[in-house]
């Protein structure tokens, strides 16, 4: 089994955070999976990644073993081993069944007018200001507002949500120091304390709940039946907030960055708005919000021509797979009309992102309204990316906009 020179996910350099794709390509070109110093492996070829993500029998998402040495018995361990994403059936099946009704086409149709009106307000504000941060003033504001509404979190109480999410998700990075661990644990504790009070308030007024209030609706399912315990409810609400705003905000921010980096493709999309659907899929492929997932083998498997024993921890290179030239012709070209485009940005199999249609709807409205309103969108400073390997994040993107 081969090792890529310098390709240690726990010790990548600044160049990797700016552009990880050369390292991924080097890993794909090896004779087998890329071994990491801790004995885990990195799988980055499209066919391997698609199989790993879709096969929940041979590859486990459960993290009760893997997160114990990383987090100890603290709040982060409790959260990440209780939330939907890091669990296998039957727990995963039960929780997902409860959440799925909130992401149906019918629900999306009901939400779309409010999302459109909210984005119109953000675009109006951007026009008045002229110079904005496309991340803070636009990309993050859209999904954070929507998921706050869907969880029934009062508008005046949402200020801490982004910081909590950043600290909790940041603790999943391959390299974790004591400060990050402390911030993540505090964020879980503070979020749980807030949700405990919110749940008590909602229990007292279930008769007046909104149809799209996920938290209130979940409270109507008794714990003695197929419902969630209060601890499960809190941690899955934290997961929904984190996944519901972080991934979508990253999709929109990365999409804007791509359109600015490839002005010919922005012009093409402006001239033919019917390309919006394929453009969003290409944004998801080219700059996948989740760059690296993970699984542990439950039996002996073959990956990239190598036999791996049961118990092997695999870093699943979603972003690498989405740049695999064996699947995508000219993968480093950003093509808003690319077809076919069977990317894996939202996963595959039972862990396919439940909110993927919602994210696509938000992104479509965001790009359409921004491009319709402004003939000029130009950066006034560089795109800033924090040093995160697991997620492809943009933290700042200052720009001038004009109608």
CB 141 within 8 A of CB 149: no
Q: What is the pLDDT of residue 173?
A: 86
Residue 12 above 90 pLDDT?
no
> What domains, with CATH codes, occur in the chain?
14-402 (1.10.630.10)
What does 115-150 look like in DSSP terms, one character per residue?
HHHHHHHHHHHHHHHSEEETIIIIITHHHHHHHHHH
CB 161 within 8 A of CB 153: yes
* Burial track 89-126 (b if 16+ CB lie within 10 A, e otherwise): eeebeebbebbeebbeeebbeebeeebbebbeebbeeb
Residue 130 above 90 pLDDT?
yes
Mean pLDDT across the stretch 169-184? 90
Q: What is the pLDDT of residue 210?
A: 60
Residue 199 above 80 pLDDT?
yes
Residue 6 above 90 pLDDT?
no
- Three-state SS at 330: coil
CB 322 within 8 A of CB 285: yes
**pLDDT per position as a tens digit, 87-118:** 999 999 999 998 888 888 888 888 899 999 99
Q: What is the pLDDT of residue 228?
A: 87
Residue 53 above 70 pLDDT?
yes
Burial of 13 (0-12, 13-18, 19+ CB in 10 A): exposed
Give the span between the Cα atoms of 6 and 402, in whole angstroms. 44
More confident residue, 363 or 9: 363
Residue 225 above 70 pLDDT?
no
How would residue 3 be classed by pLDDT, with cut points 50, 70 and 90?
very low
How would residue 4 be classed by pLDDT, with cut points 50, 70 and 90?
very low
Q: What is the pLDDT of residue 209?
A: 60
**pLDDT per position as a tens digit, 271-318:** 999 999 999 999 999 999 999 999 999 999 999 999 999 999 999 999
Residue 357 above 80 pLDDT?
yes
Give the span between the Cα atoms of 244 and 248, in whole angstroms. 7
**pLDDT per position as a tens digit, 241-253:** 888 888 899 999 9
How would residue 269 be classed by pLDDT, with cut points 50, 70 and 90?
very high
Share above pLDDT 90 across residues of the chain, in percent, rounded to a whole number: 72
Q: What is the pLDDT of residue 342?
A: 98
Predicted TM-score of the model (pTM): 0.93
């Amino acid at each position: 089994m081969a090792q890529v020179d310098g390709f240690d996910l726990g010790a990548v350099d600044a160049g990797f955070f700016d552009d990880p794709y050369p390292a991924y390509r080097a890993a794909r070109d090896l004779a087998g999976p890329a071994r990491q110093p801790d004995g885990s492996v990195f799988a980055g070829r499209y066919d391997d990644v698609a199989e790993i993500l879709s096969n929940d029998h041979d590859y486990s998402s459960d993290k009760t073993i893997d997160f114990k040495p990383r987090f100890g018995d603290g709040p982060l361990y409790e959260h990440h081993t209780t939330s939907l994403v890091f669990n296998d059936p039957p727990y995963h099946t039960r929780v997902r069944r409860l959440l799925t009704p909130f992401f149906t086409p019918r629900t999306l149709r009901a939400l779309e007018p409010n999302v459109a009106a909210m984005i119109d307000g953000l675009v109006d504000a951007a026009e008045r200001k002229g110079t904005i941060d496309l991340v803070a003033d636009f990309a993050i504001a859209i999904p954070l507002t929507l998921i706050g509404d869907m969880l029934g979190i009062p508008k005046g109480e949402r200020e801490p949500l982004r910081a909590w999410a950043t600290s909790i998700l940041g603790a999943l990075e391959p390299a974790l120091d004591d400060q990050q661990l402390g911030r993540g644990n505090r964020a879980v504790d503070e979020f749980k304390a807030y949700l405990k009070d919110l749940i008590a308030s909602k229990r007292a007024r279930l008769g007046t709940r909104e149809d799209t209030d996920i938290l209130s609706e979940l409270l109507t399912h008794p714990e003695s039946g197929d419902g969630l315990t209060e601890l499960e409810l809190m941690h899955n609400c934290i997961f929904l907030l984190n996944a519901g705003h972080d991934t979508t905000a990253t999709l929109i921010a990365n999409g804007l960055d791509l359109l600015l980096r490839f002005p010919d493709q922005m012009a093409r999309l402006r001239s033919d708005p019917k390309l919006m659907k394929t453009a969003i899929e290409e944004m998801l492929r080219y700059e996948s919000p989740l760059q690296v997932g993970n699984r542990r083998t439950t039996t002996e498997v073959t990956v990239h021509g190598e036999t791996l024993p049961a118990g092997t921890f695999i870093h699943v290179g979603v972003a690498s797979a989405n740049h695999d030239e064996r699947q995508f012709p000219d993968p480093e070209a950003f093509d808003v009309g690319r077809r076919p485009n069977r990317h894996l940005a939202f996963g595959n199999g039972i862990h396919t992102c439940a909110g993927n249609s919602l994210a696509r709807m938000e992104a479509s409205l965001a790009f359409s309204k921004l491009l319709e309103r402004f003939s000029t969108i130009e950066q006034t400073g560089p795109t800033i990316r924090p040093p995160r390997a697991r997620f492809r994040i943009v933290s700042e993107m200052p720009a001038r906009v004009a109608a």
